[in-house]
Structure 1
Amino acid sequence: MRINVLQHTPNEGPGMIQDWANAHGHTMFVYHPYQFGHLPTADETDLLVILGGPMSPNDDLPWIKQERVLIQTLLDRDVPMFGACYGAQQISKTLGYPVTKAPAKEVGWAPVYRQSTIIPKLPAKLTVLHWHEEMFAIPDEAEWLFSSDRVANQGFVLNHRVVGLQFHFEPAADNVREMVVNDYPYIQGSVLNQTADEIINMPIPAENRVALETILDYITAEK
């Protein structure tokens, strides 16, 4: 399987998604459209991963619009997709739904709660990394997957092929440190009231890796 990853800032990479890809013998290609403007074609994409970033799907940038063209083509072809944070927002925006300011800026570790059992074996509650102040609207055609105490729209699943999450399952400890040391000013104003050190020193819950792998297995499974 060829996994094409759209990375949107240097400090938010695929993290534990790379481990899953390696364990399954898949090949990963990482694109940086914000810097180089290049995107994969739909024909060479078996799984598209759309990562987070500091931009908004509402920004008037050509490459952001080009991403949505690719997303729409893959939706039409029933190709698996996984979106994290901005990536999930892009999927929702492609489907015609708004991306708006969230009720609260969430930056740091906080629980999310499963709202559907459509993906088997996901825990009812997980402590995850949040890094956002905008949110997607859950598409009518999708199923609500996760919520948090402050922002209800935390995850959706569409047609057994697409999952969008407002939060981050993918960072390992090294990735969290990279996010924080480079983007620590963004922590200011978060309702979670956590310091940079507190975010860095939080042990990565082992169940986050399991949940991420469960989701990736689910969207890439044979129908």
Structure 2
Amino acid sequence: MKKGLIVRHVPYEGIAGFREPIEAAGYDLDRFDVTDPGFWQLDLNAPDLVILMGGPMGVYELGAHPWICCEVDRLARRIERGLPTLGVCLGAQMIAAAMGAEVYPGPVKEVGFHPVTVHSDSPVRHVADVPVLHWHGDTFALPDNVELLASSDAYPHQAFRRGPELLALQFHAEMGEDSRFESWLESGADYAVQAGTSVERLRAEHAALGPAAAAAGRAMIGEWLGGL
């Protein structure tokens, strides 16, 4: 069986709805938290698939999170080898940094469910016109030699790919049916208010829009994995 590794930056941001299509594609999944003592020895080239999830920290916050340099360096070596890699939110920003692009604070905090504009006939087309969850305030320059796949009004770089093996998603199409969303609301209540929304509104959006978002996310990842 193929091996998949989830790199988790905070306990409440797992692969959620992406688990089903990844396991259906034949991957036996393991998980490593960046706070685990053995993270410094982790070989990111070993798994058949690496999935980098989100987190509230910034790629540029190296002093507060020393593991970031370790992750970016090892991720760069994986990307150079053309090994299948998926990044979500912070994970997408990590991929951009590992490819030499700048990651920096964006113009606004983008939080809530809304659709992205899809630019090409890629697996990301499954989320076209589907409100998906956004929860970030950072962005990145587009790395060299990649294809831009999606944008939003506030953030032009919402998704990109390089060949069939690399997919970076700024938005959270894995979320919509995961009970851990309550942990997001609990830990990010102030952040939501700063973004111009509220816990109550986000909870209502999650209930109304989450199932369709998660279904679109599963279809997207299933097609992407089928093309590896």
The normalised TM-score by structure 2 is 0.87
- With 100-109 and 197-206 compared, the bigger mean Cα shift is at 197-206
Partner of 2:143 in structure 1? 139
Question: CA 1:214–1:71 in 2, change beyond 3 Å: closer, same or farther?
Answer: farther
Partner of 2:184 in structure 1? 179
Q: Which amino acid aligns with 1:182?
A: S
Aligned-pair identity (%) = 27
Q: Distance in 2 between matches of 1:28 and 1:159?
A: 23
What are structure 1's unaligned runs of at least 5 residues?
none
Kept in 2, the 8 Å contact 1:162–1:219? The answer is no
Q: Which amino acid aligns with 1:183?
A: G
Matching of residue 3 in structure 1 with residue 4 in structure 2: yes
Partner of 1:49 in structure 2? 51
Partner of 1:194 in structure 2? 197
Mapping 1:146-185, distance limit 5 Å:
146-173=150-177, 174-185=179-190
Q: For residues 57-111 of structure 1, what are the alpha-carbon distances to aligned partners after superposition, in whole Å with 9 as ceiling and x for unaligned?
A: 1122431111112211221221111111111001001111101111211111122
- Give the CA deviation at 1:217: 3.3
Q: Distance in 2 between matches of 1:52 and 1:132?
A: 9
The DSSP-based 3-state class of the residue aligned with 1:122 is helix
The DSSP-based 3-state class of the residue aligned with 2:131 is strand
Kept in 2, the 8 Å contact 1:37–1:63? The answer is no
RMSD: 2.1
Q: Distance in 2 between matches of 1:77 and 1:219?
A: 19
- Give the CA deviation at 1:120: 7.4
Q: For residues 162-204 of structure 1, what are the alpha-carbon distances to aligned partners after superposition, in whole Å with 9 as ceiling and x for unaligned?
A: 11111101123313222112322221211xx321111112234
Question: CA 1:142–1:68 in 2, change beyond 3 Å: closer, same or farther?
Answer: same
The DSSP-based 3-state class of the residue aligned with 1:34 is coil
Mapping 1:27-176, distance limit 5 Å:
27-36=28-37, 38=39, 40-60=42-62, 61-119=65-123, 121-173=125-177, 174-176=179-181
The normalised TM-score by structure 1 is 0.89
Q: Distance in 2 between matches of 1:131 and 1:120?
A: 18
Q: Which amino acid aligns with 2:203?
A: I
- Give the CA deviation at 1:119: 3.2
Q: Distance in 2 between matches of 1:178 and 1:120?
A: 27
Kept in 2, the 8 Å contact 1:126–1:207? The answer is yes
Question: CA 1:150–1:180 in 2, change beyond 3 Å: closer, same or farther?
Answer: same
Kept in 2, the 8 Å contact 1:80–1:219? The answer is no
What are structure 2's unaligned runs of at least 5 residues?
none
